[in-house]
Structure formats: C-alpha cells, structure tokens
Structure 1
Amino acid sequence: MNGPSSSPISISRIHHVAYRCNDAKETADFYQNLLGMKFTTAFAEDHVPSTGEYDPYMHIFLEMGGGNVIAFFELPNQPKMGKDPNTPAWVQHIAFEVSDVEALLAAKAHIETQGVEVIGPTFHGIFRSIYFFDPNGHRLELACNIGNAEQYAELHRVAPLMLDEWSQTKKAPRHADWLHKDPEE
C-alpha cells in the first residue's frame, strides 16, 4: 500500500450484522419467540440512503444482550432470495453463544417443541453446539464454550502453523486432532 502513513483502525466491537429475510414480521417473531431476542428498531425507506437508488425496504434490528445486534432487510422488489449453489448449506451460518451445556440442551428442547429440526449437540473440542435453520434458510448455531485455558493457549500457538500448512497443501493439518476426541463418547 502506498500513500501517507496512518494508524491501524481501532474497532471496538461489531455494531450489527445484517442479512436478508423473506418476511420482516415472520423473522422478528422467530428471533423473539424462539431465541428470546428483543426487537428494538425498524427503518423503512423507499430509497437506499448510501446510494440513493429506489429499492423499498424494511430493515429490522434485534438485540440479544451485551450490545450484540442482528439485523435483517426485507426487499420486496428484489428477486426471491437465493443461496450460493457453490457453497454447502453448513458453511455460512450465524453462531450465538449460550452460557453452558445445560442451557444448550434446554435451548434444543425448546426449539424442537416449536417444530424446528435441530442437529446436535456436536462436540468441537473447546465448545459444543447445535444447528438449525431460521425461516429464511439461514443456518443458525447455538454454542457453549467448554474449553480450558491450556486448550485455548495451545490452539492459539498452533493457529499460524496450521494456516501456513493449509496454505501450502490444502489438506487438513493435524496439529489440533485432540479437538475431535469427545471425552463423553
């Protein structure tokens, strides 16, 4: 990069993450009723503020605590939502944290009573998680951390080694195979 020297950006947190939805009301109801989020804000415009183009939308915001916000856009004049056919459904997802395994299992039971299919809990070494889809087809994950300080330190130590090896071979490095051995099995 050329040009005048400047300081790196100092980001304090994610302000919000936005996704598209099929129906703003259905989406707000799902996130409120199923996941206990608080519907806080709605913006509706006929013209996009950043570009000025005509594209009516409803933009909703849901807060999940700790300053964490997820937002959605309903775009009735755009073609129907689609997925990238070259990306498997399990790849792009939104992961939310719950306090512990007990809360994870309670969440699974609650979600299933609402008729939503849930996968898991799945063991990931330093966390366990469950997976399901929202009404828009977005894959969601609820995860609870179960790792200890030594495990996190080891993962931090091997991360650059694993990335370098992956970059050269495009094969899964084995530095953290211990992550896949579930002590409960």
Structure 2
Amino acid sequence: MMNIERIHHVAYRCKDARQTVEWYGKYLNMGFILAIAEDQVPSTRQADPYMHVFLDAGQGNVLAFFEIPNSPPMGRDANTPAWVQHLAFKVDSEATLKEVMQRLQADGIEVVGVTDHTIFKSIYFFDPNGHRIELAADCGTPEQMQRLDEVKWAMLEEWSRTRRAPKHAAWMHEQEFAAPTH
C-alpha cells in the first residue's frame, strides 16, 4: 500500500521568475531554494525553454513556478470564478493576518478580509501573476472540528445527489451572512 508522505511541490506558471521570487520573499517570507532551467522539457522532450524556481513554503512544503516565455500569455479558465482556484497558506495568528494585510495594502495590493470562517480567519489577495493567495489562521475549537467531522460524509452524499449546498455546517457562516462586516 502506497502512503503519500507530503506534497513534494506544487507548480504554477509565472510571468517573470525573478519578480515572482522577489515578491514571495518580500510579502510571504519564502526563501528561494532552487532554480532549474532547460531548453527541452525532460518529461516530454518538447523543445520549450523554461525557468523553474522553487520557494520554501515552510515545513518541507515547496511552491514552484515555471516561466515559459515561448508560450502564449497566461490566462485563466474563463469558466472558473477567480475566487475558486487559489493557494492557501497557514499562518500562526489573526495578528499575523492583520500585519501582512497592512503591509500589502501599504504597497497598493488589494486585500479582501479578514474573513471569518468560524474555524479559521483568512485574507485574500493576488500575486503579480494573477494567482489568488489566501492566508489562514486557525481558530476552531475541538468541538467545532468534531461537529464538522461528524457531518462530512452526510454532506458529501447530499451534495452528490442534489448539487445543492447541504446545511449541516451552515452555522459556520450564518453570522457573516446575517450582518456583513466588510
């Protein structure tokens, strides 16, 4: 039986490798681990020069980017809303969320949040490549996590049958939707 040990790396496309490395270092304190560049893709043997950069996302997690200058400009899947596809990173506290939010906003980067998801709080913003980033600080109680664990399969089953949002965990956002704070 195979067991996944951890994610080795997650790779996305970037517009400019240097800008991406510097931006993630400045705003998310990610160290630059490694760069690989080739004129030919090793797995496909396709001639396509690229720069592949790897960043330290903490605790053995690696975030990587490819700059591929001979391909058409980056785009998004027009059928997927911008809020859906994102990278979420865990931080230690809501105070850290607020500190990072102030730093981003001071440099003119638009930030959504702090958004209260009951079991964690988040801020959202875009990197220079158009990738949505979420920083999340856990704040759920063991009881809340147990409640969610107890209903996960029932929720998935109901969703699979109806394609409508099950209400088993609606308590997580009821206050937010009743009285929006932002």
TM-score, structure 1 normalization: 0.93
Q: Which amino acid aligns with 2:150?
A: R
Aligned residue number for residue 128 of structure 1: 121
SS at match of 2:130: coil
Runs of 4+ in 1 over 2 A off after TM superposition: 181-185
**Aligned counterpart, 1:166:** 159
116, 126, 147: which is aligned to 1:154? 147
Please tell me the residue identity of whatever aligns with 2:6. R
Letter in 2 for 1:101: E
- Indicate the residue corresponding to 1:46 in structure 2: 39
| 1:125/1:181 contact within 8 Å kept | no
Cα distance in 2 for partners of 1:66, 1:182 equals 34
Question: Which residue is equivalent to 1:176?
Answer: 169
Q: What is the count of residue pairs matched by the alignment?
A: 178
Picking from 48, 51, 57, the partner of 1:58 is 51
The alpha carbon displacement at 1:181 in A equals 3.8
Q: Does 1:114 align with 2:84?
A: no
Matched-pair contact (CA < 8 Å) for 1:40–1:63: yes
Following superposition, the deviation at residue 107 of structure 1 comes to 1.1
The one-character-per-residue Cα deviations of 1:79-102 (angstroms, maximum 9, x if unpaired) are 111100000000000001110111
Q: Which residue of 1 aligns with 2:95?
A: 102
Structure 2: tracts of 5 or more residues without a match: none
Is 1:140 matched up with 2:133? yes
Q: Deviation at 1:182?
A: 4.4
| 5+ long unaligned stretches in structure 1 | 1-6
- Which of residues 68, 74, 82 in structure 1 aligns to 2:75? 82
What's the RMSD between the two structures over aligned residues? 1.4
Instruction: Confirm or deny: 8 A CA contact 1:58 1:74 kept in the other structure.
Output: yes
Q: Is the 8 A contact 1:32 1:38 kept in 2?
A: yes
Give the Cα separation in 2 of the matches to 1:130 and 1:10.
32
Quote the Cα distance in structure 2 between the aligned partners of 1:50 and 1:171. 41
C-alpha separation in 2, matches of 1:85 and 1:65: 32
Could you tell me which amino acid in structure 2 is paired with residue 55 of structure 1?
Answer: D
Shift of 1:50: 0.9
